[in-house]
């Protein structure tokens, strides 16, 4: 079984590349983030033409998450346990589904903007809601379980191209990394890093300042999995090739192959 995650940075803008990638990479399940569209605008029919059912959670031009599957979708859950609101709104940032006997969550963790910004505290509250959701779901199921998506956190200093440039930035603060540690305490582990096809498995590169050609990236798209899921991983890689060329997302897909 092949399961992947990809922040497409607008599914409308990325649809031709998404369709081509689904045909070439052939994931059984794809978790998608940053749809930037409402559910009634989600390209369900175009994806169904390729054999993928879809469950989406989007409310408008920002945020939005989805799960695509060619092995069935059941038990869809939109939103987290006790999910916090930001500026009086609940943002569409998490969707869970069971696909082929595996429970997956597609998540788009809030950016946080700056450590002094209210969005940063919202991010930490949101991560606590994710922890509560993981604890509730893993206690209630024996299915292989994983949370995949854009976490907007680099787990270690080596997951950014130059840590000295991030001293006063989000994505690398102690509180954010503690939130990942809490997920690990809940029984989840980071599927990457593992032996990869290149030295720096970044997943995101800014569009500006030639960041991608210079490989000035970050690893913020993660797969956090329980022991059953993790033990079944036969291979895992970042599809860096998909970040190349015109019209790409600023994120690359992360692909995990399971031997179930």
Task: Mark whether 150 is an active-site residue.
Answer: yes
Consult the annotation and say whether 250 binds a ligand: yes
150 is in an annotated binding site: yes
- Any known ligand binding at 152? yes
Cβ-based neighbour number of residue 19 at 10 Å = 16
CA distances from 226 to 65, 141, 245 (A): 21, 11, 35
Residue in 14, 11, 18, 19 with CA at minimum distance from that of residue 38: 11
For this structure, is 86 an active site residue? Answer: no
What is the side-by-side strand order in the sheet with 233-238? 53-57, 65-69, 29-33, 2-7, 254-258, 233-238
Q: Are 71 and 100 in contact (CB under 8 A)?
A: yes
171 part of the active site: no
What distance in Å separates the CA atoms of residue 150 and residue 3, rounded to the nearest whole number? 15
Catalytic residue among 28, 150, 190, 226: 150
251 is in an annotated binding site: yes
Within 10 angstroms of residue 20's Cβ, the number of other Cβ atoms is: 12
Q: Please, what sign has the CA dihedral across residues 8, 231, 259, 139? A: negative
Query: Catalytic: which of 52, 57, 108, 204?
Result: 108
Residues designated as active site: 108, 150, 251
Residue set of the binding site for Mg(2+): 7, 34, 150, 152, 250-251
Residue set of the binding site: 7, 34, 150, 152, 250-251
């Amino acid at each position: 079984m092949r399961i992947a995650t990809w922040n497409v940075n607008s599914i409308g803008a990325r649809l031709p590349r998404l369709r081509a990638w689904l045909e070439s990479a052939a994931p059984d399940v794809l978790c998608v983030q940053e749809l930037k569209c409402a559910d009634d605008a989600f390209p369900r029919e175009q994806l169904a033409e390729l054999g993928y059912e879809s469950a989406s959670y989007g409310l408008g031009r920002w945020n939005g998450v989805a799960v695509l599957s060619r092995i069935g979708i059941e038990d869809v859950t939109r939103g987290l346990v006790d999910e916090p609101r930001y500026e009086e709104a609940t943002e569409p940032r998490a969707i869970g589904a069971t696909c082929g006997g595996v429970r997956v969550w597609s998540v788009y963790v809030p950016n946080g903007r700056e450590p002094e910004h209210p969005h940063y505290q919202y991010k930490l509250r949101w991560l606590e809601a994710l922890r509560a959701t993981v604890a509730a779901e893993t206690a209630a199921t024996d299915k292989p379980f994983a949370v995949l998506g854009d976490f907007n956190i680099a787990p270690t200093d080596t997951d950014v191209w130059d840590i000295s440039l991030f001293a006063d930035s989000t994505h690398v603060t102690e509180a954010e990394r503690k939130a990942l540690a809490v997920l690990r305490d809940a029984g989840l582990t980071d599927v990457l890093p593992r032996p990869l096809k290149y030295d720096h498995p970044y997943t995101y590169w800014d569009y500006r300042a030639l960041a991608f050609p210079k490989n000035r990236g970050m690893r913020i798209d993660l797969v956090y999995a329980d022991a059953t899921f993790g033990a079944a991983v036969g291979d895992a890689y970042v599809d860096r090739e998909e970040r190349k060329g015109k019209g790409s997302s600023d994120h690359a897909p992360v692909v995990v192959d399971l031997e179930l």
